Amino acid sequence: MESFLALVQEWGYVAVFLGAIVEGETVILTSSALAALGYMNIYKIMLITFCTTVVVDQILFQVGRRYGPAFFERYPKLKPRANKAFHLLHRFDRWFILSFRFIYGIRVISPIVIGAAQVEPKRFAPLNILSAIIWTLVSCYSGYMMGDVLEKVLKNIETAKYYLTLGVCAAAILAIAYFIWKKRKKAKAKSGLPN
């Protein structure tokens, strides 16, 4: 357990940075929960999360503006998600720009779509910053509130291992018994004996 916590303290902020680059809500939530337990600093997590997500989305926005629809022609597997994001952008406009970070499955592709739709940079940037503030506060605060739960899990990890092992063994025994019963039933049916 101590080695895990040492690893978190040494590499935790790198994980936060990497998690903020992609759809890394799990990393942000976990690191924020660890901050509630005193293993990390919540303000550093929030700063890294906010800065990283703003910069990455600005870069993706510029990729969309520069390469436009040709980007999606080059990567046809992205087209279904891009079409969904285009539809949402045209339907909800600025509300979509404010909320795309919260939409699972199209979060990463949305800034590219917004750029490809030729939204003006001076319009996207402030909405992107506001959205990043909201996303950072919601994600980090939610994780921070989960700190109590994580503390209980960490304290009871040995007990949890015992019950997990017991559960897996019981499930394995039941599965073996079921397959033996099924095999015998099938054999009786072939031989014509009554069940």
Give the rounded percent of residues in the chain with a pLDDT score beyond 90.
Answer: 44
24 within 8 A of 136, measured Cβ to Cβ: no
**Residue type for 50, please?**
F
CA separation for the pair 83, 101 (Å, rounded): 17
What band does 2 get if pLDDT is binned at 50, 70 and 90?
Answer: low
Length of the chain (residues): 195
Residue 164 pLDDT more than 80? Answer: no
- Asked if 36 and 147 count as a contact pair (C-beta separation under 8 A), the reply is yes
What are the extents of the domains in the chain? 2-151, 156-191
Give this prediction's pTM: 0.72
Give the Cα separation of 95 and 100 in Å (integer). Answer: 8
pLDDT digits (tens, 9 = 90+) for 50-104: 999 999 999 999 999 999 888 988 999 999 999 999 999 999 999 999 999 889 8
| Residue 186 token pair | 């099938």
Q: Rounded to a whole number, what is the largest CA-CA distance in the chain?
A: 81
Distance CA 139, CA 27 (A): 10
Q: Is the pLDDT of residue 29 over 70?
A: yes
